[in-house]
A and B are shown apart, each in its own frame.
Chain A
Amino acid sequence: MSDLFAARSQMAMSLAFHIVFASAGIAMPVLMAVAEALWLRQGDEAGRALARRWAKGTAILFAVGAVSGTVLSFELGLLWPAFMAFAGPVFGMPFALEGFAFFVEAIFLGVYLYGWDRVSPRAHWLAGAMVALSGTLSGIFVVIANAWMNTPAGFRLEGGRVVEVEPLAAMANSAALSEALHMTLAAFAAVGFAVAAIHAHRLRREPRNLFHRRAVAIALTVGGTAALLQPLSGDLSARVVARSQPAKLAALEGQFETERGAPLRIGGWPDEAARRTRYAVEIPYGLSLLAFHDPHAEVRGLDEFARADRPPVAVVHVAFQVMVACGAAMALTALVGAGLFLRRRRLPDAAWYLRLVTLTGPLGFVAMEAGWTVTEVGRQPWIVQGVMRTSEAVTPMPHLAFPFVSFTILYLFLAAVVIVLLRRQVFASPRLGADAAAEKG
């Protein structure tokens, strides 16, 4: 394993791990705040039991999110020192702002988790709302930093040195809005669907359990709304990519030749040797239409880029197909649920629908990992698009396979423990009344 490859793998593995917990840190506080509001305003016992139960899960997820995020902050330097020496001052501002969002988040999470009996119910609810707000903001800030790597702005290069650095202009880069929006929705969609799936699975066995009914209702409303908006936001992302990262767009779509009126390819396998994408269903003019809102727009193909400047096509294309397929399935599930709800004015609890929700449960996280693969692998060979190559950024430290393997083992172990703990502590069905008393003790 080359050191560069080990460094890339370690970065990818750490991010893929962190993003799961970070998403929970963004969306779980919102679910808890809704559940607790049901209790505060309507005296709904199930809402209170849910908030307490979810808080336990969130405590576990948040701790792992915090430590794995700390690993990332160090890894930026441990693995990519040349990148940070160059880019730190330019794109660092959102990280600094994120730092304060972390403070607020960690502080009010402490109050939320340990303060049930120490602060007033209102103050407790407000603490939860603060966690939700600051969690969302931390996600937005860090994604703005990532957007800068895709569409760098706010500096000039003069003989290899950065000059005229303007951190605020760097934050206002052209991908910032679309990425931050898409990621925030992704967190709500993925977490909402995953939580709904777990409780839907239980509800199918115990149809009268109020606890699980409330849980499905809350999680599906939050997740479903996000899932319905996600394709619109994805379209915005795609158009930004089309304008600013043509090689990434070509890889995403398996477009080898420059072409007017390019078709949209669904599925298929890009064959780099033969320079064409096989076995795809092609919708004429689809790509030109979607990417530029003009059926005859020219789409630049991979052939226009030197071999050394192209991303790995197959990985990016397949990952993109996976994300869009998951997104479509989730949006459809949400749409069907909304239709059922509007017709009967109650939670759609037919066994087949609950089974559908259970099946789509993991798709949000699959889409999220796939989407990040599109973004990050699609940017290769650049660490900062068009400015610095990943190979120029890597640390001179040898034997990088060693930390990569160590952190992988550590994270696999943590993941296993988290799953066991969540199963035991969070997923089991409580009996209302008796349970509320037990939870207090």
Chain B
Amino acid sequence: MPLELWLAGVVMVSLNLYALGAGADFGGGVWDMLARGPRERAQRETIAHAIGPIWEANHVWLILVIVLLFVAFPVAFAALATALHIPLTLMLIGIVLRGSAFTFRGYGGQDDAVQRRWGRTFAMASVVTPLMLGVCAGAVASGAIRMRGGRVVTDFVSAWLAPFPLSIGLFTLALFAFLAAVYLTLETEDRPLQDDFRRRALLAALAVGAMALVCFLLSSSGAPSIRRGLAREWWSLPFQAVTGLVAAGAIGALWTRRFPLARVLAMAQVTLVLWGWGLAQFPYLIEPDLTFEAAAAPATVLRPLLAALGAGAVVAGPSLLYLYRVFKAR
């Protein structure tokens, strides 16, 4: 396998882990905003408790994605940062406000007004960030970012401010909220509280399904080449069937209160969606003008980079497992 494909794989794995970890942390923010009913306070506390120790570690996956892009696929990094300047900036503001508001709320004393103010900021930022992340992904997939001679030739707005990227943004938001609600069923032993999260997970699953349909309908005009790619490839039908089955399975497991199973299936669902996108778009990093191969840095860079990633994984991997063992033993 060519070197750049290994790196593309690492980027996808990192993005995948970011979605499974930080994605759920953002989803937690959504449920913080929508906390209702007699157990409103308990819901918020469970969410804060679940996110607290792990959000910073989850967040580092995004940094790894960025760094890998600019070291291994520098032309693509420059092009994305140029064409998506505005949604990326909005996403950054969301990231800054989410992280700091969450921490400020945790350490800001028990004053109710203060708590509520930071809580609201935290929750709003948790909506903006996944939305913008999805918009950026949708813009990349749509084929609207055009390049010539290694430079972006489209304007700074039209590629992302369009129905298809926006619907992908909402889809991402729904997916993260679903993931969070499923995880949260395992963060408490209190049966009514568990039911709150179970109900939310089921509702979110409906939203995910609805948004998936909207994205699919919009893709014929919004992302034609991906749509064509998906229709033509031999693997695409079985792949979509498996994704659908897993999604249905997750709902079934929630319905029958098999929460650990629901968690596994929800994680598999998010993973399949992400890789489905990646495979449908392959060999393009940015549809339709930049392939992974054309964007790749020279082999003298990629080889030591892969070695560094391997060495880093030896250190970070066990540490990450330790963190999850200490705080997420169930």
Residues on A lying within 8 angstroms of B by beta carbon are 56, 59-60, 62-64, 66-71, 73-74, 76-78, 81-82, 84-90, 92-93, 95-100, 102-104, 106-111, 113-115, 118-119, 130, 163-168, 395-398, 403, 406-407, 410, 414, 417, 421, 424-425
Contact = CB atoms under 8 A, between A and B. Distances in A.
Contacts of A424: 109
Given A85-B150, A103-B319, A110 B56 contact: yes
A84 B308 contact: no
Contacts of A70: 59, 62-63, 92, 95-96
Contacts of B320: 103, 107
B309 A74 contact: no
A82 B78 CA distance: 7
Contact of B81 (A84, A107, A111, A406): A84
Nearest to B76: A85
Contacts of B71: 88-89, 92-93, 95-96
A168 B303 CA distance: 11
B74 A414 contact: no
A102 B309 contact: no
A73 B82 CA distance: 14
Contacts of B109: 424-425
A85 B74 contact: yes
Given A107-B320, A414-B96, A421 B63 contact: no
Contact of A414 (B56, B68, B100, B323): B100
Interface of B: 52-54, 56-57, 59-60, 62-64, 66-68, 70-72, 74-75, 77-82, 85, 88-89, 92-93, 95-100, 102-104, 106-109, 150, 156, 297-298, 300-301, 304-305, 308-309, 311-312, 315-316, 319-320, 322-323, 326-327
A100 B74 contact: no
A106 B57 contact: yes
Given A107-B322, A114-B52, A118-B326, A73 B96 contact: no
Contacts, number: 204
Contacts of B315: 100, 103-104
Task: State the main secondary structure of chain B at its contact with A.
Answer: helix
Contact of B56 (A56, A62, A166, A168): A62
A118 B327 CA distance: 8
Given A106-B57, A165-B300, A111 B107 contact: no
Nearest to B80: A77
Contact of A99 (B60, B74, B108): B60
Task: State the main secondary structure of chain A at its contact with B.
Answer: helix
| Residue among B68, B319, B320 facing the most chain A CB atoms (10 A cut-off) | B319
Given A60-B107, A165-B297, A397-B82, A71 B92 contact: yes
Contact of B298 (A64, A89, A110, A130): A89
A59 B97 CA distance: 15
Contact of B63 (A73, A87, A114): A73
A56 B104 CA distance: 11
B108 to A, nearest CB: 6
A421 B108 contact: yes
Contacts of B150: 85
Contact of B77 (A88, A96, A406, A417): A88
Contacts of B323: 107, 110-111
A289 to B, nearest CB: 41
A401 to B, nearest CB: 13
B129 to A, nearest CB: 11
Nearest to B152: A396
A228 B107 CA distance: 35
B103 A60 contact: yes
Closest 9 A/B residue pairs (Cβ): A77-B81, A92-B71, A100-B312, A89-B297, A81-B78, A88-B74, A63-B103, A85-B78, A106-B56
26 contacts: A63-B99, A63-B100, A64-B99, A66-B99, A67-B95, A71-B92, A74-B66, A74-B88, A78-B88, A81-B79, A88-B78, A92-B305, A96-B308, A100-B308, A102-B63, A103-B319, A107-B57, A110-B52, A111-B53, A114-B327, A167-B301, A167-B305, A396-B82, A410-B93, A410-B96, A410-B97
| Residue among A67, A97, A114, A119 facing the most chain B CB atoms (10 A cut-off) | A67
A60 B109 CA distance: 13
Contact of A84 (B54, B74, B304): B74
Contacts of B96: 67-68, 70-71, 410, 414
A59 B52 CA distance: 11
A97 to B, nearest CB: 6
Nearest to B82: A81
Contact of B100 (A67, A69, A109, A130): A67
A103 B78 CA distance: 25
Contact of A93 (B81, B85, B308): B308
Contacts of A93: 71, 301, 304-305, 308
A407 B97 CA distance: 11
